[in-house]
Structure 1
């Protein structure tokens, strides 16, 4: 492909994409020597974040998977946490590819098929994780607000069926990565990017921009706005219900709830907001994307290693429990802890049994 055609081609597809693809300069441009310090600093910091997330994610999520499958009796909580850990673990396994890509100044050496598959699995992790977290929130909401219904209908079979539906939805919503991700030569490097024009000649700029907007807006709505709205509603309802029924005797539940929601916002908000800005690249300097996309993507990726901490370890009071990490994990994942204890207490209260102190999450 001629350099002039490649230039128009890259312009036409608006190649700001889901993952950092900024290894090249515009072919045919004026030879200048701009400072690349911010861009390089962002790239190096991204490699560090990816590496830490990869190590912690594989260890943390791998430990959760091992404990649930080998040490625990099957329960609804175990089904939720197992699927969440598997989604994050899959993501972490493929993180070394992104680490290598970023460390090599965004030079893709793994081929077009792996470019598509890698991006597909990364987006699949995003959807399955956020849908699972939303489902966990709904499950806790139902268990607290409708304890009688939950006691009669909440089962591992239903939880497994819901998880199968979540994985199916995640696969369907991640398919655009298989369609649009592509590789191309650019100034001696190979980039893995989103080819929304589905061509190599730059003749479909309007169609490419429309596809880009549709993919990014739908991802913003389905992968961020709707889940965070449901999650926030569920936990607000849980807090109000606990206060009204005086089931919570400390501020600890509120701290855990706030930490979950705030961490979700911190990790995913910059990523999704930048995705929206990508649909209007002409109004924003290219340098902004070159620095911001690697950092926001790495920040979103770091959420996969934080989940074991947020949804498992923070559910236990480390100052009171003088036990091993393994015991803490078993206690946190057990059906006897978390919102199931609230259900048990609700039934005990309705049966005029002695009410005992409990915790949330």
Structure 2
């Protein structure tokens, strides 16, 4: 976005990461402090016993659920949506000065694909975690819902959906990003049905390097000796030898036009 703006340093990055861990630990403290178990006939019940009352009958639990939703759901979605929207507007809305080269166009397309991929990740996150967040808000207003039949199965399905969010991210990365896809292929290359495809970026770099070698070799003898190696050096050596032989024959024919033997 702002290439001339100084980037966040290592210490600042560590402070931000440490702050996130501290906030996450504080948010999880009520679960450690107020949750308890109660033995039943065929199972053990785990529930929250808040200072002002049990679970689904506590005002403190309701406030905690609201704060938990704001910090762990709406804040991440809002920040990621704002960030990726700005990047998307910059990529799709800005126009470069002059005519773009093919490499610049490919680079812009690659960045746009990354923005699309990250927006899909945000949408999947919102869909997976929304039922989990709403469940606790609804049961706080209607505590009798927890006594309905099959409510435990419904909660487990909602909980599984929320926890499965991280499972979808690698699938999205592999589907929409060639580098991630090649990384997965390298990781699972021992499997017989996995075929490792060549990296397009590496081939482009190799082609550009070969072009640079050819350019340097054709412009100066020093560059030719320095850069050209292997088969290229052998080919150029043969061409140079043939050119020298041809030049020698031409010079000899000019000095002796009748084809007479030359005496020492």
Common topology (TM > 0.5): yes
Q: How does 1:312-323 map to 2 (within 5 A)?
A: 313=174, 316-317=177-178, 321=182
Give 1:298 shift.
Answer: 1.0
Quick check: 1:196–1:208 contact (8 Å CA) kept in 2?
A: no
> Which runs of 5 or more structure 1 residues have no equivalent in the other structure?
1-144, 199-203, 332-361
Give SS of 2:109's match: coil
Residue in structure 2 matched with residue 238 of structure 1 by the alignment:
87
Backbone CA RMSD of aligned residues: 3.4
Residue in structure 2 matched with residue 262 of structure 1 by the alignment:
123
Give SS of 1:234's match: helix
Render the CA deviation track for 1:221-254: whole Å, top value 9, x for unaligned.
1111122111111111110011123573366235
Q: How does 1:188-203 map to 2 (within 5 A)?
A: 188-197=42-51
Quick check: 1:217–1:276 contact (8 Å CA) kept in 2?
A: yes
Change (3 A) 1:177 1:316: same
> Which runs of 5 or more structure 2 residues have no equivalent in the other structure?
96-106, 190-195, 200-264
Render the CA deviation track for 1:301-327: whole Å, top value 9, x for unaligned.
1123334444x5456316985961389
Residue in structure 1 matched with residue 17 of structure 2 by the alignment:
163
Give 1:171 shift.
Answer: 0.7
Residue in structure 2 matched with residue 226 of structure 1 by the alignment:
75
From 282, 300, 310, the equivalent of 2:162 is 300
Change (3 A) 1:283 1:192: closer
Quick check: 1:197–1:207 contact (8 Å CA) kept in 2?
A: no
Larger relative contact order (Cα-Cα within 8 Å, sequence gap ≥ 6): 1
Q: How far apart in 2 are the matches of 1:225 and 1:282?
A: 24
From 291, 298, 302, the equivalent of 2:153 is 291
Change (3 A) 1:223 1:319: closer
Quick check: 2:65–2:137 contact (8 Å CA) kept in 1?
A: yes
Change (3 A) 1:189 1:197: farther
Give 1:261 shift.
Answer: 1.4
Give 1:147 shift.
Answer: 2.5
Q: How does 1:1-361 map to 2 (within 5 A)?
A: 145-149=1-5, 152-197=6-51, 204=53, 208-246=57-95, 248-249=108-109, 252-282=113-143, 284=145, 286-287=148-149, 289-310=151-172, 313=174, 316-317=177-178, 321=182, 324-325=186-187
Q: How far apart in 1 are the matches of 2:180 and 2:70?
A: 40
Give SS of 1:146's match: coil
Change (3 A) 1:190 1:197: farther
Render the CA deviation track for 1:95-154: whole Å, top value 9, x for unaligned.
xxxxxxxxxxxxxxxxxxxxxxxxxxxxxxxxxxxxxxxxxxxxxxxxxx22222xx233
Which region of structure 1 is more displaced relative to structure 2, 246-255 or 169-178? 246-255
Give 1:258 shift.
Answer: 3.0
Give SS of 1:153's match: coil
Q: Please, what TM-score do these two structures have when normalized by structure 1?
A: 0.43
Q: How far apart in 2 are the matches of 1:161 and 1:315?
A: 32
Render the CA deviation track for 1:37-96: whole Å, top value 9, x for unaligned.
xxxxxxxxxxxxxxxxxxxxxxxxxxxxxxxxxxxxxxxxxxxxxxxxxxxxxxxxxxxx
Change (3 A) 1:244 1:177: same
Larger Rg: 2
Q: How far apart in 2 are the matches of 1:269 and 1:223?
A: 11
